[in-house]
Structure 1
Amino acid sequence: MEIENTSDEKKMEQPQQQSPSKKTKGWPHNHAIHYSCEIQSSTNEALEKVASYGLLPNMILYLMGDYHIGIAQGTNILFFWSAATNFLPVIGAFVSDSYLGRFLTIGFGSISSFLGIVLLWLTAMIPQARPPPCNQFKEKCKTPTSPQYAVLISCFALMSIGAGGIRPCSLAFGTDQLNNRNRPKKESDIVLEKFFNWYFAATATSIVIAFTGIVYVQDHAGWKVGFGVPTILMFLSALFFFLASSLYVKQKATVSVFTGFAQVIVVAYKNRKSSFPSQNSNLGYHQKKGSSLSQPTNKLRFLNKACIIQNPQDITPDGEASNPWALCTVEQVEALKSLIRVMPLWSTSIMMSINISQGSFQLLQAKSMDRHITSGFQYPAGSFGMFTIIGAVIWIGLYDRVIIPLATKIRGKPVKIEIKTRMGLGLLCSFIAMAVSAIVEHVRRKEALASGYLNNPGEWWPCRPCGSCHSIS
């Protein structure tokens, strides 16, 4: 009997001894694997940004020159492309959290972006994919046919879908690779900090390369090579991502935070006629197990009805709601309230985004100027967006290392400019920038019309930055 008990005990102990390995199955145990996955995650998005951002600056010239699309229509097309690229990551995040998981979402996005860029490259390679060439100043050019428009829009749609899959998941997917439960918390914090530093450094570097290198290639080697380089980069991005598939930590999809927001809205509407529980009532608010929030705040009080316990039977024995579309937790309600509270702050960036989205006009404005830095080098018009990045970097450095320390030294106590004040100053600078741009364009256009530049565009040198134009004769 003792032998049987011993064997039974061993059988009972065996799963417990194996559980740690099962628990950590798939988690990298080698630092080299950790960092290779981390680097690959950052590289994937960096290459995608080089490819996509490198196409945007000069795209209006491609639409006007090769597709004979007017500036207004071309600007609208690029605006909708940019809007879709910025909005689809919200949908991509929802799909990733609820259904596919981050790995599959990034993989799908990489393939979609690659197909979109390949299709765009083919429009430059195949003459039948665009209208026949013509001189826009001497004859009326043919506009794109419906199939040609369809191919062009498909390029932008595929690239936007790809960005919607890659951008919301890359950072979180990178942290998944480093979230090792066996590592001490202090060491994990250091590793994550290094990852964030390298991630944002790679992102910034990719944008700089896109605004300089890719634009320069397009200006000097033409559209075939200019679109071919981003195609190769996107191919390498997808290839490297899938080659390292076996090394990745792949988290399963869970309930999305957006689903929780929708549940709060639906349940609050259903319970809109319900009264709030009194202090003497046995019913109260449903809270997540182990949470310190016992009841919701009084702000946006109408949402609190989503977590009122109408019937004790709505709670399962383990403390969960039997139907999440009939009863929410206090945490879900407060999360939605937090989102609503920051919306006014987000809305302040709408006008800023409108100003930033005027890139096509600024490109054409810069194109009409003499951009020669030396006799042998001309600064690309599509790279003028670099001044925005350079200005931001300089301002951050001055603010953190010069302005704040100097103000602290003068006042004799710590000085800090509030975030809302800094946002207001940023909006003011944005307003001044647009006003200056309007004045420059007024002067430039006036000089061009007075010099006959509009009627004889082929007989005049491009305008110099000071606004004057010079005749060939």
Structure 2
Amino acid sequence: MRWSYDKGGSARGESGGGSASVTSGLGAALQGGRTAEATAWTSCPSLPASSSSVLFELHFLQAEPELLLRSSMEVNEERARGREAADEEMAAMEANESCTLDGSVDFRGRPARRASTGGWPAGSLILVNQGLATLAFFGVGVNLVIFLTRVLHQNNAAAANNVSKWTGTVYLFSLIGAFLSDSYWGRYKTCAVFQIIFVTGLVMLSLTSYLFLLKPSGCGNEHASCEPHSGPKVILFYLSVYLVALGNGGYQPNIATFGADQFDEHHPTEAHSKISFFSYFYLFLNLGSLFSNTFLVYLEDDGSWALGFWVSAASALAAVALFFGGTRRYRRFRPNGNPLSRVCQVIVAAARKWDIDAPSSSKELYEAGSKEPADNGSRKLLHTEGFGFLDKAATFEGGDRTVPRRPCPPAGRDPWRLCTVTQVEEVKCVLRLLPIWLCTIIYSVVFTQMASLFVEQGAAMATSVASFHIPPASMSAFDILSVASFIFLYRRLLHPLARRVKADPRGLTELQRMGVGLVIAVAAMVAAGTVEIHRLKLAGSMSIMWQIPQYVLIGASEVFMYVGQLEFFNSQTPDGLKSFGSALCMLSMSLGNYVSSILVTVLTSITGGGGRRPGWIPDDLNRGHLDRFYFLLAGLTAADLVLYIICARRYKSIKLEGKGVEAGDEIAGAGDSFPAGNSAV
């Protein structure tokens, strides 16, 4: 027999084909079990229970004849407890849908509600903010090499080196932003502070250029040279551009992660959106730079440098205003404390126990109780094999504990002698990421040529098509169009095809896509070198439009390499190191710029014979061999690809407690999911 209750208190019975009775402990079981389930959501304000009728079914498994003699009052009390438990369960279910499950909070520090925070409304604000900020940044960066040669009278090699150093410093500053975000400020505050610094630097640059550098008025185009400048004016210029570098560098890795924070990976729909967000993020980044690489470049190439810089400053100011406009909508995560101290604790604790053996079973290692969060409040990590020396940091010695080891933490535990499994796994995660990260640096060397030597190569070609003059730096617009096109092609065509061919719902993993990006980068350098061979034969009569293939190939490689990097480093870093994961992408670009600068300097010295010969990259490219430099980069990238494949095949993914699978696999069936695997290439 089945009893059904509604909220009005009425009851009805249905024949179940057998005897029925009410067990004496049923009400208490329902009250205890379901109330406990409901109270799991007390940290999130639940919605009021629905006023509609609630159906509560009681299935009776045994017939106890003596219970049939209970008074109707006892039965009514049992029914009331059942209705109360059902109401609590419904409230818990509604709370489940009401609040996020990833621990995010709103602007007042309360558990974030799904309907009123985050999601695509907040994510869209961040995407537009990124587009405007990118417009501002590339309004300075993309034509900086031309500014240095025309306004500050630097030669080609010096200008290319200075741009590489400046760009590298931009990405180096990303480590500062990531550290402050993960440790102390949180991502929202970090993004806000560094965006204000960014705007300040752009305003200073605009004023410096207008008041001091662009003299006489209208100078700085290819026909009118500017007068020489004194040391203080040049110092003020460099102070301005490096303030721009600090602002953009500290902001950039955090805004990508902050955008991903707006999507709850525990919610199926939002988890799929989170993966898609990185592609859209990179798309908006390139759409923002499209305006810089066309309109602003045209203004600056014509000598309107100050106007171009003021437009960049206005765009950055609009980005800041838009960012603050979404303050109430954003989801946030509290900072997890200094990650460097946690890493150092593991190393010191393991070193102190160098002479003991780690237990053969991971169950013998120390971890916080099963219902407790990790020491820094983040999700716990499961033990993985490898780097066994570090497991000693979580191994007990006689003086490490005074109470049983599990599930309670030892009383008065010294974190410099005994660490948790999660702490140890955080260090292992970083160590496993390093080989993959190192293999991305050579790609960044290739990528940085687009802002330096590609521009100088274009300036040595015929820049007029019919009666229209094409600024060399504006050719990077073809890179941007390529990025937009290949993101669309990948999402709509290549990914579904890969899923069918591989019979794997994941399609290409992040590591596989990064490998594809390296292959395309080799092709881009071969194309650039081939164009240069023909340009040398035709001197200045070869059209700049022949550069289109190398820009298109660089753009295609970005879709696979940089979007794959963003997803990979975000998914494979622990909760307390998310901004650090994004900063690794930026740091790769930073070191790529520095390596490019070193390569240019060394090769110029060697091939130039100390100034006795033109060398590969002379002031007059018609007397050099830029093609050989491009082919050298193609060879280095091919060698890097081989090393990358070896590292990617040996990579082990992060494992989060409660997932039961490696990070990323829980949404492997999603149309936009590309998780990394153990053998990804």
* Range into which the TM-score falls when normalised by the shorter chain: 0.7 to 0.9
CA distance in 1, matches of 2:264, 2:452: 42
User: How big is the shift at 1:341?
Assistant: 2.2
Give, in whole Å, the separation in 1 of the partners of 2:136 and 2:502: 49
Using the size of structure 2 for normalisation, the TM-score is 0.54
Q: Secondary structure at the match of 2:365?
A: coil
More helix by share: 1
Indicate the residue corresponding to 1:222 in structure 2. Answer: 304
SS in structure 2 of the partner of residue 90 of structure 1: helix
Q: Deviations for 1:304-352, whole angstroms, at most 9, x for unmatched residues? A: 2222222343889952773333322212222322332232222222221
Residue in structure 2 matched with residue 319 of structure 1 by the alignment: 409
Change over 3 Å in CA distance of 1:140–1:20 after alignment to 2: closer
How big is each residue's C-alpha offset from its partner over 1:222-271, in whole Å with a ceiling of 9 and x where there is no partner? 10111111011111222333455456555432225454333323332333
Question: Post-superposition shift, 1:356?
Answer: 1.2
Aligned: 1:369 with 2:394? no
Answering whether residue 378 of structure 2 is matched by residue 299 of structure 1, we say no
What TM-score, normalized by structure 1, do the two folds share? Answer: 0.74
1:128 shift after superposition: 5.5
Cα distance per residue 1:163-200 (max 9 Å; x no partner): 233222224434555669xxx94565477567666545
Tell me the equivalent position of 2:346. Answer: 264
Q: Give the 3 Å change call, closer, same or farther, for CA 247–264 of structure 1 in structure 2.
A: same
Of 191, 197, 200 in structure 2, the residue corresponding to residue 115 of structure 1 is 200
For the Cα contact (< 8 Å) 1:48–1:233, is it kept in 2?
A: yes
Kindly state the Cα deviation for residue 445 of structure 1 after the two structures are TM-superposed: 3.9
Q: Report the Cα distance in structure 2 between the residues aligned to 1:136 and 1:394, rounded to whole angstroms.
A: 33
1:119-150, CA deviations, whole angstroms, 9 ceiling, x for partnerless residues? 22123201258899999999999765432332
Deviations along 1:348-396, one digit per CA (max 9) or x if unpaired, are 22221111111211101112222444x3433332122233344455555
The match for 1:441 is 532
Q: How much does 1:397 deviate?
A: 5.5
Q: Distance in 2 between matches of 1:76 and 1:130?
A: 25
218-227 or 193-202: which moved more?
A: 193-202
Among residues 335, 341, 360, which one is paired with 2:452 in the alignment?
Answer: 360
Which aligned pairs between 1:10-29 and structure 2 lie closer than 5 A?
20=45, 26=108
Which residue of structure 1 aligns with residue 600 of structure 2?
A: none
* CA RMSD, Structure 1 to Structure 2 (Å): 4.5
SS of 1:167 mapped into structure 2: helix
Partner of residue 146, structure 1: 231
Give the CA deviation at 1:401: 5.7
What are the ranges of 5 or more consecutive residues in structure 1 without an aligned counterpart?
1-15, 449-460
Q: Any unmatched runs of 5+ in structure 2? A: 1-40, 47-104, 372-378, 548-621, 623-681
> Letter of the aligned partner of 1:216 in structure 2?
Y
1:38-94 per-residue CA deviation (whole Å, 9 max, x = no partner) reads 443333332211111232221101011111122222222211221122222232111
Give the SS at the match of 1:275.
Answer: coil
Which segment drifts farther, 152-161 or 198-207? 198-207
Q: Report % sequence identity.
A: 26
Distance 1:188 1:296, change over 3 A: closer
Is the contact made by 2:297 and 2:474 (CA closer than 8 Å) also made in structure 1? yes
Give the partner amino acid of 1:207.
S
Q: For 1:430, what is the secondary structure of its paired residue?
A: helix
**Which stretch shows the higher mean deviation, 245-254 or 186-195?**
186-195
Output the amino acid matched with 1:308. T
Matches of 2:511 and 2:43 in 1, distance apart? 54
Change (3 A) 1:149 1:263: farther
Q: CA deviation at 1:422?
A: 5.5
Counterpart AA for 1:368: A
CA contact under 8 A between 2:107 and 2:330: conserved in structure 1? no
Is the contact made by 1:372 and 1:378 (CA closer than 8 Å) also made in structure 2?
Answer: yes
- Structure 2 contact 359–395 (Cα < 8 Å) conserved: yes
Give the whole-Å Cα distance in 1 for the aligned partners of 2:182 and 2:238: 28
Q: Any conservation in 2 of the 1:45–1:166 contact (CA below 8 Å)?
A: no
Alignment counterpart, residue 182 of structure 2, candidates 86, 97, 114: 97
Q: Which amino acid aligns with 1:367?
A: A
What is the distance in 2 between the residues matched to 1:18 and 1:423? Answer: 40
For 1:289, the equivalent position in structure 2 comes to: 369
Structure whose alpha-carbon radius of gyration is higher: 2
What residue is the counterpart of 2:471 in the other structure? 380
Sort the Cα spacing of 1:360 and 1:314 in 2 relative to 1 into closer, same or farther, 3 A.
Answer: farther
Q: Say if 2:365 is the partner of 1:273.
A: no
Pairs aligned (count): 434
Which one-letter code corresponds to 1:230 in the other structure?
Answer: S
- Residue 262 and residue 462 in structure 1: after superposition, are their counterparts in 2 closer, same or farther (change >3 A)? farther
Quote the offset at 1:111 in angstroms: 1.1
Contact 1:218 1:226 in 2 (8 A): yes
Aligned to 1:169, the other structure's residue is in SS state: helix
- Partner of residue 237, structure 1: 319
CA contact (8 A) 1:264 1:306 kept: yes
Contact 1:68–1:131 (CA under 8 A) maintained in structure 2: no
Compared with structure 1, are the counterparts of its residues 43 and 263 closer, same or farther at alpha carbon in structure 2 (3 Å cutoff)?
Answer: farther
Moved more, 118-127 or 262-271: 262-271
- The residue that corresponds to 1:348 in the other structure is 439
Aligned-partner SS, 1:253:
coil
1:170-189 paired onto structure 2 within 5 Å: 170-176=255-261, 185-186=267-268, 188-189=270-271
- CA distance in 1 between counterparts of 2:44 and 2:436 reads 47
Q: 1:223 corresponds to which letter in structure 2?
A: W
| Matching residue of 1:75 | 160
Is the Cα contact below 8 Å between 2:107 and 2:328 reproduced in 1?
no
Q: Is the contact made by 2:383 and 2:421 (CA closer than 8 Å) also made in structure 1?
A: yes
Letter in 2 for 1:319: P
- Structure 2 counterpart of 1:427, one-letter code: L
Q: 1:422 to 1:24 in 2, by over 3 A?
A: closer
Q: 1:371 to 1:284 in 2, by over 3 A?
A: same
Cα distance change on mapping 1:418 and 1:268 into 2, 3 Å: same
Deviations 1:248-296 (A, max 9, x none): 55543222545433332333233333433477x9x94212332899984
Aligned match of 1:166: 251
SS of the residue corresponding to residue 417 of structure 2 reads coil
Cα deviation for residue 436 of structure 1 reads: 3.5
Distance in 1 separating the partners of 2:504 and 2:273:
31
Contact 1:369 1:462 in 2 (8 A): yes
- Distance verdict in 2 for CA 1:418–1:139, change over 3 Å: closer
Residue 292 of structure 2 corresponds to: 210
